[in-house]
Structure 1
Amino acid sequence: MQNQIDLGADAAGKSVTLDVEELLATRLLVQGNSGSGKSHLLRRLLEKSAGIVQQIVIDPEGDFVSLAEAFGHVVIDGAAYSDTEVARLAARAREHRASVVLALDGLEIDNQMRCAAVFLSALFDAPDKHWYPALVIVDEAQLFAPSASGDVSDEARRSSLAAMTNLMCRGRKRGLAGIIATQRLAKLAKNVAAEASNFLMGRTFLDIDMIRAADLLGMERRQAEQIRDLERGHFVGLGPAISRRPVTVRVGDVQTRAKSTVAGLTPPPLATGEDMASLLHAPPEVPPAQAELWSAAAPNRATAAALQEHIADQTAPTPGYPEVTLSGDECASVMREVLDEMSGEDGSTFLPSATLFQDFTVRCRMRGLKDHGLDAAQFRKSFAQSLAGVTLDDPHGQDARLLALAETIPEELLTPFLAIGKAAIDGRPCPDDEALAILYGTRSVGRARRMLEHLEKTDLVVVRTDYAGRRAVAIPQLNLATALA
């Protein structure tokens, strides 16, 4: 059948297949020590299913970028983009059903976790019309869903773990099938691993990992020795997409190779010790860029004051290109332009406020505004006003009264409340549940309805529905109401 892919052969030489359609509903966990053939297995799975389903690979080592040439995957270098750009690339990958490889090998582990969290969250938050089936393969999953805190920051660990939990626990309804691979089961968060119903267990030596793998496979602990004795490239598979009983599979060949693959042993060159020493100690062929680093004398260390002056000289305006000075009105105009531009972009309400604030600052600087004068809290209010279309052109008008009332609103409810108020001022219908959910930063219309109920319980709005099911929302303190929708 078209949805069956060949993983390899069992001990009797019979083909072992994996049902991709079943995999989309039940997810997969791959475990094996370094050198067990785990990456080879993932590559076999990716190559065989490339023409069946969209594939999204989170690749911390850059091993799967070779899929681009053979199978047309788009390689996204995580080190080359900002958080905002990474989120947009993820959203477009879902929209256009593009198979992509997010290569994170150019980043430190903290930034790897942050980048993967932004990318996975954007996949998860895609609009429901883009919920196409996709395999999401996360290699070295213990890095992104650690069972305990390590040397990384708490912020990076929490965001990455939340994104991985969403993928494995709630991704199925959004078409996302998580395939996670790890070297150490003991280091992988249990709530992430527990959501997989299919398992492929490779060679494991540590007792704690071996026992946990045996438990997942339903084996008795005395049978766990079987996992330790597996050869390279051999896995024990179990699950509705593979087999109802544990089956040993020898993974078949692949077409592509990882960049880090070393083909066999390479003998050292035939040279005497003296020849090799002369090669190592030979002077550089060209003069180095910083000759003082190669001199025998230690370079003079600059003082902090001198270093600050040097940095100031480097950042001073270039002669002939004087620094642009904007008037107060021009600054306000630039800020409104940037806010309107950002609020008009799809998915902006789903990005973290810190990411949006950084993006806002950069865009202002690109337009010649070095200091916009807003702190993070003021920016969030201004961004909410821009999303709702509220202005302060008339300090005594209805918009100003709405903003004054909104001072009592919790920050997370500000944008939908202002949108309802602006619709009432303009005499338009109240935004529907889906539009309110997006303004609220979610895809759940249930959360949007609960948000509206909360506003009503706090006496900020009154919701009325007629017998035809049309809804109007009134704001008693402003003596305004939206039109029936």
Structure 2
Amino acid sequence: MTVSIDMGQASAGGATSCCFDLEELLATRLLVQGNSGSGKSHLLRRLLEQSTAWVQQVVIDPEGDFVSLSDRFGHVTVDAAGSERDLAVIAARVRAHRVSVVLNLEALEPDRQMKAAAVFLNALFDAERDHWYPVLVVVDEAQLFAPSASGDTGEEARRVALGAMTNLMCRGRKRGLAGVIATQRLAKLAKNVAAEASNFLMGRTFLDIDMARAADLLGMEKRQAEAFRNLERGHFVALGPAVSRRPMTVRIGPVETVGRGGGPKLTPLPEGRPEELQELLFQPAGEPERSAAEKPSMTQPVPAADVLDRLTRQAVARETVETDPMDRETWEQAVDAVIAELLDDSEAAFQPVAALYQDFQVRCRIARLPGRPPDLAAFRQRVSLARAGVNRSEIDPQVWSSAETVSQNLPEEMRGVYLLLAKSALEGRPCPSDAEIATAYGTRSTGRARWLLTHMEEQGFIVCVTDLRGNRIVTLTDLDCQTTAQPARAAI
């Protein structure tokens, strides 16, 4: 299945959409170049928003512009102010649990930004083979982490950061890491890092050396390089196997979230008499600042967004007070009921967990469940069990507890499949079909289901054999039980 990401409109084609082949992009990487104000961050945000439902994402964010993705799309913001060991542990968990994150580096000095990014990227790179799932790794202002020459930063920080970026772009593909790097100037970016990208989006630039290098990467003649000076904000020349075989001008489409930075906005200067402003500037240090120029007018209208935010907070506080207390068992049953209602839709079984989680949070609010809903990891495990239709009512609780203990050694999305196999084996029923296993895993692909069984067998959790009739039998090694025969491709 080809997954197309709509990035905007192809200018030469009128209303023709410009789409990226996501799978091809993951395999061939992307380089974005453009001067400050050309729309690079807007382009990256569009790419992240359009692909968030399909692939795990890691954003290396030196300015804190992308933390707003967490409110709309559930990205976890990782504050890089912790120790290097903490960052390495978090990065390993990010790969193991397939959580989309934004590494916020804005609170650090340049040297520490480079070291923190290097530690995080290296930990992603060094993840265990079982966790080599596809990850879109977006690095904004890549010239900071892979400079072409030493500058104001220390040589050690430059060396480790450049090594991490080289690993990402040169060797990351086999480990599932797909680098997307954005830079203001190609001349400032290390050539061995930029050379590994096969897809390019070149925005507005003015320096001759950058225009010449951009034209060279796109296979354009030198006389055509002048076109990069005339590009409008948000317009890029695209080329690569994931987007177009020939250079094509693209206008990037709108985004749903907004960065915390953005361009300068003209605002009126504060009003006040000269003597008041002078007192404001020259009052002794340590005294509280009081000035009529700083006090908002009582007649000034309050923005509608502030009013809605205030009403929302009051409504939440009122719901917290008015909601009847609920014991833990009742709360768990209520959560399971919300998930069951969510999965009643036949298409819900095949939607990404991140998209389901957003719907789940809204339904919890509607149902007025007290307290915070389960986090994403706990929700993923509950959905996995619900998709598998696991019910232990007819099984010895002690034996079933052993099955649950064993399943904890698997990723959350695989535990439901293991328990589905365990239930069939403990009840003496046939092995579930490929279609049943695929549904429990949240996919329509029966090939994916067979891959999952092979993966679990390689890890030593199960043993699959085929009898003389071609029927599949699964043995659960830790539980010392096995299913009865079932045609491996039945009910597809």
TM-score, scaled to structure 2: 0.57
CA distances 1:69-110 after superposition (whole Å, capped 9, x unpaired): 11000100001x111110010000000000000000111011
Q: State whether structure 2 residue 259 is matched by structure 1 residue 274.
A: no
Q: State whether structure 2 residue 7 is matched by structure 1 residue 7.
A: yes
Q: Which runs of 5+ in 2 are unaligned?
A: 290-492
Aligned equivalents of 1:275, 1:88: Cα separation in 2: 53
**Superposition RMSD on alpha carbons, in Å?**
1.6
Equivalences for 1:32-431 in 2 at 5 Å?
32-79=34-81, 81-262=82-263, 264-283=265-284, 286=287
- Counterpart AA for 1:6: D
Aligned equivalents of 2:55, 2:276: Cα separation in 1: 56
Decide whether aligned partners of structure 1 residues 271 and 286 sit closer, same or farther in structure 2, where only a CA change above 3 A counts: closer
Q: Specify the SS of the correspondent of 1:110.
A: helix
* 1:263 to partner: Cα distance: 6.9
CA distances 1:14-66 after superposition (whole Å, capped 9, x unpaired): 11011110001000000000000100100000011010100000001111000
Aligned equivalents of 2:36, 2:44: Cα separation in 1: 14
Decide whether aligned partners of structure 1 residues 287 and 250 sit closer, same or farther in structure 2, where only a CA change above 3 A counts: closer
Q: Specify the SS of the correspondent of 2:267.
A: coil
Aligned equivalents of 1:219, 1:15: Cα separation in 2: 23
Instruction: Count how many residue pairs are aligned between Structure 1 and Structure 2.
Output: 287
Contact map agreement 2:30 2:179 (CA 8 A) in 1: yes
Aligned equivalents of 1:2, 1:83: Cα separation in 2: 38
Aligned equivalents of 2:27, 2:219: Cα separation in 1: 21
Q: Match for residue 33 of structure 2?
A: 31
Decide whether aligned partners of structure 1 residues 262 and 181 sit closer, same or farther in structure 2, where only a CA change above 3 A counts: closer
Q: Specify the SS of the correspondent of 1:178.
A: strand
* 1:265 to partner: Cα distance: 1.9
* 1:150 to partner: Cα distance: 1.1
Q: Specify the SS of the correspondent of 1:151.
A: coil
CA distances 1:436-477 after superposition (whole Å, capped 9, x unpaired): xxxxxxxxxxxxxxxxxxxxxxxxxxxxxxxxxxxxxxxxxx
Decide whether aligned partners of structure 1 residues 180 and 251 sit closer, same or farther in structure 2, where only a CA change above 3 A counts: same
CA distances 1:285-322 after superposition (whole Å, capped 9, x unpaired): 7479xxxxxxxxxxxxxxxxxxxxxxxxxxxxxxxxxx
Aligned equivalents of 1:283, 1:157: Cα separation in 2: 44
CA distances 1:350-399 after superposition (whole Å, capped 9, x unpaired): xxxxxxxxxxxxxxxxxxxxxxxxxxxxxxxxxxxxxxxxxxxxxxxxxx
Aligned equivalents of 1:286, 1:160: Cα separation in 2: 45
Q: Specify the SS of the correspondent of 1:148.
A: coil
Aligned equivalents of 2:167, 2:123: Cα separation in 1: 11
Aligned equivalents of 2:66, 2:261: Cα separation in 1: 10
TM-score, scaled to structure 1: 0.58
Aligned equivalents of 1:119, 1:144: Cα separation in 2: 12
- Counterpart AA for 2:18: V
Q: Match for residue 352 of structure 1?
A: none
Contact map agreement 2:56 2:135 (CA 8 A) in 1: yes
Equivalences for 1:460-475 in 2 at 5 Å?
none
Q: Specify the SS of the correspondent of 1:245.
A: strand
Q: Specify the SS of the correspondent of 1:224.
A: helix
- Counterpart AA for 1:78: A
- Counterpart AA for 2:175: R
Larger radius of gyration: 1
Contact map agreement 2:2 2:21 (CA 8 A) in 1: no
Aligned equivalents of 1:287, 1:226: Cα separation in 2: 55
* 1:13 to partner: Cα distance: 2.5
Q: Match for residue 353 of structure 1?
A: none
Aligned equivalents of 1:148, 1:68: Cα separation in 2: 34
